[in-house]
Structure 1
């Protein structure tokens, strides 16, 4: 990858997490294969990455029984940057770790949800620039619109965090290759399961910055989320 804003040439790899089961969607098949205008949902972020000049390679992690199917779809839609399709694990974190083990010395690694179809070029460029210039992580997110309540096990309100301090995080989540690999290895060794990629990096004491994204950068998880696909015309 080379960008005029960067003084050094970096190898940039995107890991696409496409190992979901689709249970909450009640589809009867993995949600990443949901057809939108005749195209599998996971192909949309791959097409953005394929056309983006910053990303050099792509690793896709998917269900073991769907590895060949993903390869076939990538070939059909001309996603030539996909170097490896690797079997996922029990949890998303296990799947990403499997993909990281297949990476070959990338300087910068992006992790993207396969069912978050509205990946934008600016997310990639802004996050990669922060990682390159500031040597910290970068995560796309949006400021929360609603008041958030912290509750206990009985659903009683414990506190109300200031809304201006809260961000809902999305993907891509972007880090230097060595840092995210060490973070995942440490989590694996300690049987720690984080809520996202950034949480694993944060627990090692590394700084992570937020890149403000857009509210349409939704993750398609439930049937209700399908309305966003219709609104965006995809």
Structure 2
């Protein structure tokens, strides 16, 4: 285990953790939310909570659940008795805001809040400590991210005929798809081969390359994302007032015009989104020595 993170010389700020896990699959239609899928005979969420719980410098872990969540079992509650449970909201940002509201009476403005995806069970403690040490004297915060290794394309939709389609999108301009948004929304595994929910197309069509992007200018945003308590709360409050939907905490902070630092993390800190991800996570946990080979 790496050394404990250094503390600020100015204040003894605490580190609080929020794990948004309120996605129950209503948007993607799968039977079991991804955070409750079995990974080496344990829920994905259990692996995530265990990793976070092993970091003794963290003050408390707040787990944000859907009000109607019936997957969080008595066994999970018994395994993690010190975790604080809070009811979440409709979207990820609302769930995080609910968690921050719960912490409002416990955290100071300059305390740190570490937000981590429930479906990222392969996070290594070294990455968390690297993030903390990189930001210890920062006034805003930052994120873990990994470099883009493949050639990156922006796509566009080629439609077969006028008025023969129904396009549903809340992504960028003119219905283009975002090829990466790795820290995004909660929910369950999509059907194999299906398009992302953002930018789904209900018609015969094809995706074509619009342009090739400079991969050196792009990063795959991951979690944890670490921000000062008041900075993050103000950013999410502003986003909610303006009906601005964000898929990660950094986007809300960016919208405030504040600088968000990038801290390079491991590329195997994957988020389980597809069945392929689940199989890869099983392999990674073995390679990382978390389970017997």
Q: TM-score w.r.t. structure 2 length? A: 0.71
Where is the helix percentage greater, Structure 1 or Structure 2? Answer: 1
Larger radius of gyration: 2
- Work out whether residues 127 and 265 of structure 2, in 8 Å CA contact, stay in contact via their aligned partners in 1: yes
1:1-234 correspondence to structure 2 within 5 Å: 3-7=5-9, 8-22=11-25, 28-66=31-69, 70=72, 72-80=74-82, 82-83=83-84, 85-103=85-103, 104-106=106-108, 107-154=111-158, 155-232=207-284, 233=286
Summarize the Cα distance change of 1:209–1:230 in structure 2 as closer, same or farther, 3 Å threshold. Answer: same
- Work out whether residues 15 and 59 of structure 1, in 8 Å CA contact, stay in contact via their aligned partners in 2: yes
CA shift for structure 1 position 26:
6.7
Pairs aligned (count): 230
CA shift for structure 1 position 44:
1.3
Q: Secondary structure at the match of 1:70?
A: coil
- Work out whether residues 216 and 228 of structure 1, in 8 Å CA contact, stay in contact via their aligned partners in 2: no
Q: Secondary structure at the match of 2:240?
A: helix
For the residues of structure 2 that align with 1:78 and 1:111, how far apart are their CA atoms? 18
Gaps of 5+ in 1: none
For the residues of structure 2 that align with 1:219 and 1:172, how far apart are their CA atoms? 11
Gaps of 5+ in 2: 159-206
For the aligned residue pairs, the C-alpha RMSD in angstroms reads 2.3
Q: Secondary structure at the match of 1:230?
A: helix
For the residues of structure 2 that align with 1:156 and 1:25, how far apart are their CA atoms? 25
CA shift for structure 1 position 74:
4.3
- Work out whether residues 7 and 136 of structure 2, in 8 Å CA contact, stay in contact via their aligned partners in 1: no
For the residues of structure 1 that align with 2:6 and 2:222, how far apart are their CA atoms? 26
> Quick one: higher RCO (CA 8 Å, sep 6+), 1 or 2?
2
For the residues of structure 1 that align with 2:246 and 2:217, how far apart are their CA atoms? 21
